[in-house]
Structure 1
Amino acid sequence: MSPAPAPLPSLEIPLGRPLQPLPAGAYDRHRRSLLVEGYGERGQQRLAAARVLVVGTGGLGSPVLFYLAAMGVGTIYVSDADEVELNNLQRQFIHTEATVGTLKADSAAAALRALNSEIEIVPMGPATPESLDALRDDIDLVMECSDVFATKYLVGDWCAANGKPLVWASVMAMIWQASVFWTAPPAPWRPLGLRDLHAEAPAAGTVQTSHEIGVLGPVVGQVASTQAVEAVKLIVGTGSPLFGRVLVGDARTQQIDQLEYAVPREDA
């Protein structure tokens, strides 16, 4: 049996705000995180300084948003155009029966503020070229959590054109994928975008949607947790990122494969 390849080094994204001393209460709230090797006080300071855009507050966005808020990400932009529906509650647990009929971005923002009042939550409408351009200088990282191919490629193309790091995932029924893209990484990392993994969006009618084949709530939570971990790793600068690699999971058998689709570093 051949030996496992050496893990990639960590990859740390730049932040647009300077690090600040942690308030006294942060040491109690984040005690378990501060104990983790490679994390510590500086890692928590970087999370507090980070500004993250989460596109979609559904099955993927719900756990992602809760984890980022709980971890203390300083500013979270919440993007969604839809209203909460009863059928969302099977998997989109950031919303409740009481918020059915309200805007998802507002419903999610209220839940996050109740979880962590020390961070800033900014609800907004759908991701469009104009809304993304308006945030260009105000975000450090983008989380793509929508369930629409058009939105996924719009966000992926915008991040690629503007050099913003992107944590991406996709789920259908019980099958999922997750990866990290960044077209402006430091040397010797190579620029990689969504289209390096999936060059084109599937043609209309060639791929079944979750409206047709469904999606299992805990499976969405499984991949969303992976997204949240990748975001924290990129912000803190610890661990090996899913860069040039994609996780492909099948919850029916709990088999997870790691595929390298591009050599991520010039010195690899």
Structure 2
Amino acid sequence: MLQYPQINPVALQLGPIAIHWYGLTYLAAFGLFMLLAMRRLHHEPFVSVRGPGAWTRKDIEDMLFLGVLGVVLGGRLGYCLFYKPGYYASHPLEIFYVWQGGMSFHGGMLGVILSQVWFAHSRGKPFWQVMDLVAPCVPPGLAAGRVGNFINGELWGRAADPSLPWAMVFPQSGSLIPRHPSQVYQFLMEGLLLFILLWIYARKERRQGQVAAAFLFGYGVFRFIAEFFREPDAHLVWLQQSTGLSMGQWLCVPMIVIGAGLWVWFGRRPARVA
């Protein structure tokens, strides 16, 4: 049984300005996206696009800028709508209190999708081609975010068998019972493993939309599994007790279904014409 190391969430204090590790993990996520997206431009079909529709570094920079807006705005709104709708309906101004915390992956994903719809429309690029470029570059950023969760000592896991070698005590949970380090599980599954699988899968040209569909399905499955080890939010325990599934799992169900359906549907469409 391990003890949570009590890491200071503030990485650097400059007078009244505090730089938090969690913020740095977001910067790392955006930097990793830029690096990997530039590498994706050397893969098919992006490297073969010529003329006015050719992919450039400026495209990647604009995608990242819009994606950052989508992550922050969508993540915050998603948390308010999915996890505390009653509270924020009564305190609408607190939706803008982002410094109090509260971000949702599923809301952030919807925000990113909307931002890339705008990007694809404004640049005259196929939407699913845009999403195929984006999809394999996302998991490392998710992994960075889980590192931030661990440093903050938040989103801890459910109670674990004390004999489990990596069971960990999180004093922030208000108890000294050993728990699953679910942030680490999510780092390994939704971040590292999903990235490896998607990157290998995307190296070979697929039917347009299949890489994005594989991301939806893969993330949904890995997050669904991880939620069995993650402690539900206190105000949503009733949902897990009454249905057997947590809010995170219910939000993953449509991802899995839609991802699998899109992958099959795209696979039946004619191959891309050069």
How high is the TM-score relative to the length of structure 1? 0.30
Q: Could you say which structure has the higher strand fraction?
A: 1
How high is the TM-score relative to the length of structure 2? 0.30
| Structure (1 or 2) with the larger CA radius of gyration | 2
Q: Could you say which structure has the higher helix fraction?
A: 2
